[in-house]
Amino acid sequence: MSPQEASGELLRMLRQQLESWQRAGLTHLPKLRLQSAGQSSSESQLEMSPGGGQDAVQPSDSGRSVFRKTEQRSSTFQEDRAAALARLAAQVARCRRCPELVRNRTQTVFGSGNPYAQLVFIGEAPGADEDRLGQPFVGAAGQLLTDMIEKGMGLRRSDVYIMNIVRCRPPGNRTPLPEEAQNCRPFLEKQLAIIQPKFICCLGACAAQNLLGTTEPISRLRGKVHSYQGIPVVCTYHPAYLLRTPSAKRQTWEDLQLLMAIMGLPVPKTSVPKPGKRIGE
Ligand code: SF4
């Protein structure tokens, strides 16, 4: 490899790593070794996005007290949690615990959103679009989830954090095997430990059963408040299921209302969506 090719390859790897950290919520990189005496701490950060970390934690509505605490946190503290997520994302990107998933993945899909989210959504696994883009819940199911969050709950997608039970795409979009979910569990637990959400919403049977350690069907898990390490958990149907079964939107809306009630959010006076309509329409 020529020196030019080597430097191009190095730049490509660096760009991939930076993108992976950014997806994990990191907005600044400390320049600790480059800092000269007398330089302020704000000058010693390399900004990665125009909005910086502040934008990600603004409340969607000044009346939403549940997000006010997030807004008041110091920017230094925000960067600590984002940096911890970025370190974990880098570990996940190197993970090879599930041979079949490693053979088939384009990249790992760590999770995305506000590192200080009060609410975390957990889905099943990356699909084809997610595997291609490295982001959870993109494509049609992702758009429906965004509608559930924004039109249904009145939050912004950037207020919450979204992740999956497994971080690599199962071939053919099959359900993750129990051993794959088990392999990925330490990452899930660590990610939740860093974010410290106040509420969790499981999307679909795979997420609900794996998080809660049960084999109960989703039809029996939904409609109630469960607990994961003391954190209230509401389970509902996966957006991909709702796309195939629009009649289940009524129950999902009821689950979201339950979630909003325990979060102390006002429940919007929107009608229950009719089959074929989106939540919030
Ligand atoms: S699914 Fe999780 S445990 Fe399995 S290879 Fe991917 S990151 Fe590793």
- pLDDT at residue number 32: 37
Architecture of domain 65-263: 3-Layer(aba) Sandwich (3.40)
Q: What φ, ψ does residue 79 adopt, rounded to 5°?
A: -65, -35
**Is pLDDT above 80 for 147?**
yes
**Is pLDDT above 50 for 58?**
no
Lookup result for tokens 């954090």: 161
Ligand 1 atom, smallest distance to 187 CA: 2
**Is pLDDT above 70 for 42?**
no
Tell me how far the alpha carbon of residue 219 is from its chain's centroid: 24
Ligand 1 atom, smallest distance to 125 CA: 1
Q: How many A from CA of 236 to the centre of ligand 1?
A: 24
- Tokens linked to 187: 């990452």
Ligand 1 mutation pick, 88, 95, 174, 189, max ligand atoms within 8 A of CB = 95
Closest by CA position to 261, among listed 228, 221, 234: 234
Residue partners of 147: CB distance under 8 A and separation at least 6 = 278, 279, 280
Ligand 1 binding residues, C-beta < 6 A: 92, 95-98, 101-102, 108, 166-168, 180, 183-184, 187
Question: Cα–Cα distance between 256 and 148 in angstroms, integer?
Answer: 8
Model confidence band, residue 33 (pLDDT cutoffs 50, 70, 90): very low
> Is 0.85 topped by the overall pTM?
no
Ligand 1 atom, smallest distance to 101 CA: 5
Q: Map out the domains of the chain as residue ranges.
A: 65-263
Question: Cα–Cα distance between 248 and 150 in angstroms, integer?
Answer: 19
